[in-house]
Structure 1
């Protein structure tokens, strides 16, 4: 069985990469980081993503979508992770079939995907996935929380009521609201982490080739080679797990993919920082942005502890079968 991307899938990935390079390259990223008012969702870009089918990718064609599957969505989200595209991408994608405007990119949808009562991009959202309360109502009772990632504003709010069939809502916890979306949300977040891990690998290798010490590139030194080799192993292991989980959609494989992708994103960002040396710690370098976003994503949809519990339960069920 051939698990390599098809030509259509490669073309899709190339198209998304071209779009993001044109609309959210490094200059746009740095401008967003350096301008507090710009930290958040670029509505114009959000609409462009909607027009390109980013959010409606898995909706049936009869419903105005593209009609593709998880495998294609993973490739698209991987590209978004490479450029650190901010905003509740996963929640808006998952809401494409239920929240008006989400599929077209005219609505921004967030979710209680961080556990507890934390919500990202609440002040910019038009809806909260699975919640009967509008973001404005949650903001009135919430409070801002300092975020490690400068492009991901956070709020802590009381647990709202989930949406019910009659539209009146009811009692419930934030975890229950995202439960129907947790597996897909975890896989798409793993794809974002994979993209970041691959990008920090590229940054480390490029710096190792260009930076010279003692008359030769630092990439010639064994310690730096080992760091880069370890980054490659992490990224490729995560890539295999994420792609396989996108094909099978098995909850245990998704949990394993999220676990490996989180480790790859955080570990590669840390090692990339080491390859850059003292320069890597500076605000001007992009390495810290990848590390901070990786920390945040590691807590979204499914934490390492939760993924390990899913895997353990699957192993026990298999052993008892």
Structure 2
């Protein structure tokens, strides 16, 4: 397959008569956002419900996006089969996957949700047909993610960098039930299942992983309790919110390959790449992640200078 890169945010076209990845308009298939293999493996019926940003309630199996038959058969399906095989093996399989394939699968999942959210917003006239009431920053960020996801079916070279932070950790409970979280505006995602957990920031050029590197080094290869995994995810979700740069890229297409080169994140700005960490705000994020354990914000920040942690060494970022 040889495709020129497609940008749906130029025409703001999120209809069901074009492939959501390539823009091809040749009678696309409707493919499920949460694939059948994942629903089956997680013992889900597909009737489980999710609430979208437009307040509508949809079942998992009703969430579909349009995909070119050629791209589905030759690119998406082989990727799904690799991820399915890795999920079957648990942490051993997931940790052995190339990060690019994890990025492609997680990114495809998140972009599929975004595609459906865009359709809903346009339908309710919360967005105009040209996207004029969406921030230019978000359009730019989403467009970059979509551009990079085209590596699923065409040749894309990341020039000595990775646009993501991906962390895969083992879990103590080898029978952890399937669950996931995502935050579209910051393009962050977490998932836990069986004996593994994944946290992924999709548009940060690796900065969130470096921001938490001290903790990641400390927990390396140590199976995490459920509370510890949720704490780890909460830290990444909060730092993704604090990340105050909009990554920019130079893109050159030559001989059927798209070469993507990052611009320096620091740019002309003197301020740090992350806004100041505030323990109280972090505590509010953590309270949400720890809801199953009924820990209140008061308990979490009882000591305002040292929020509650399930890690032997909390290794929290310095607070402002």
Q: Same fold (TM over 0.5)?
A: no
More strand by share: 2
TM-score (norm 1): 0.34
TM-score (norm 2): 0.34
More helix by share: 1
